[in-house]
Amino acid sequence: MVYEWGMSSVTSRLASARQAVLVRQHHLGAFEDPAPRPAFPADPVMRWGRWGLLPVSSLMRVQTSDPVVAITYDDGPDPEQTPAILDVLAERGVPATFFVLSDRAETYPAIIERMVREGHEVALHGIDHSRLTEVPGVEAVRRLREAKLRVEDVSGRPVRFYRPTYGAVGISTFAAARALGMEVVIWSAWAMDWLNAPVEEVAARGAGALHPGAILLLHDTTDDPAAAEAGTLPTFSRAELVRRILDGADAAGFRFLRVDNLVRLYPAVRSVTVQRPRPHLPFH
Of the residues 211, 219, 220, 284, only one is catalytic, namely: 219
Q: Among 168, 167, 164, which Cα is nearest to 144's?
A: 164
Region for 167 from its dihedrals, namely left if φ exceeds 0, alpha if ψ lies in -120 to 50, beta otherwise: left
Q: How far apart are alpha carbons 277 and 284 in whole angstroms?
A: 11
Q: Among 177, 5, 200, 26, which Cα is nearest to 99's?
A: 177
Region for 253 from its dihedrals, namely left if φ exceeds 0, alpha if ψ lies in -120 to 50, beta otherwise: left
Query: Which positions ≥6 away from 102 have C-beta within 8 Å?
Result: 124, 126, 127, 146, 147, 148, 150, 151, 154
Residue 219 designated active-site: yes
Q: How far apart are alpha carbons 216 and 261 in whole angstroms?
A: 15
Query: Which stretches does DSSP call E strand in the chain?
Result: 21-22, 57-62, 68-74, 97-101, 121-126, 161-162, 183-184, 189-190, 214-219, 255-256, 268-272
Radius of gyration of the CA atoms of the chain, in A:
18
SS3 assignment, position 43: coil
SS3 assignment, position 49: coil
CB 126 within 8 Å of CB 132: yes
Q: How far apart are alpha carbons 213 and 59 in whole angstroms?
A: 11
Of the residues 74, 193, 220, 223, only one is catalytic, namely: 74
By annotation, the residues acting in catalysis are: 74, 219
